[in-house]
């Protein structure tokens, strides 16, 4: 799938395909959340996001299944407030290091699934 990644004076953003909606990856004045940190790390396998200048855009081709998986994991981290659960942050930091995007997403899926289960069991 074609993904456009751009930088403006407020944020680093990504637009998927021909959608009008943009995903904000990183605000210029706010620290990264764990959900956005995962997306930025994933995109860095395809393009160095830190080198995108303000006002510039880059188009890259990312496999559909990987992009969908990354967006779902990011959404789950945010929706379930997983970073608030004790132990999540440490496991996240340990598993964010991977050699390929597939390896990163597989490791993060294990961590997210584990802590989503914990969140659901605690709410019962």
With pLDDT > 90 as the criterion, what percentage of the chain qualifies?
88
Are 33 and 48 a contacting pair, CB within 8 Å?
no
Please, what is the Cα angle at 74 between 85 and 4, to 5 degrees?
A: 155
DSSP code for 98: -
User: pLDDT per residue over 103-118, tens digit each?
Assistant: 999 999 999 999 999 9
User: pLDDT per residue over 26-49, tens digit each?
Assistant: 998 999 999 999 999 999 999 999
What is the pLDDT averaged over residues 13-36?
92
Q: Residue 61 pLDDT > 90, yes or no? A: yes
- CA distances from residue 107 to 26, 35, 51, 57 in whole angstroms, order as listed: 22, 14, 26, 29
Q: Where do the structural domains in the chain lie, given as residue ranges?
A: 2-123
What is the pLDDT averaged over residues 19-24?
90
Q: Is 96 exposed, middle or buried (0-12, 13-18, 19+ CB in 10 A)?
A: middle
Q: How many residues does the chain have?
A: 124
In terms of Cα–Cα distance, which of 11, 9, 44, 6 is closest to 26?
11
Q: Residue 123 pLDDT > 90, yes or no? A: no
Residue 95's pLDDT is 87
Neighbours of 24 (CB within 10 A): 13
DSSP string, 2-39: EEEEEE-SSEEEEEETT-S--EEEEESSSPPPHHHHHH
Q: Is 15 exposed, middle or buried (0-12, 13-18, 19+ CB in 10 A)?
A: middle
């Amino acid at each position: 799938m074609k993904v456009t990644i751009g930088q403006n004076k407020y944020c680093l953003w990504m637009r998927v395909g021909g959608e009008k909606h943009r995903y904000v990856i990183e605000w210029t004045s706010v620290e990264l959340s764990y959900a956005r940190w995962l997306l930025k790390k994933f995109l860095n396998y395809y393009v160095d996001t830190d080198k995108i200048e303000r006002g510039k855009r880059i188009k890259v081709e990312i496999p559909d299944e990987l992009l969908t998986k990354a967006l779902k994991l990011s959404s789950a981290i945010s929706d379930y407030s997983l970073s608030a659960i004790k132990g999540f942050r440490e496991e996240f930091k340990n598993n964010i290091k991977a050699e390929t995007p597939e390896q990163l997403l597989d490791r993060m899926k294990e961590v997210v699934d584990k802590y989503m289960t914990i969140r659901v069991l605690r709410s019962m």
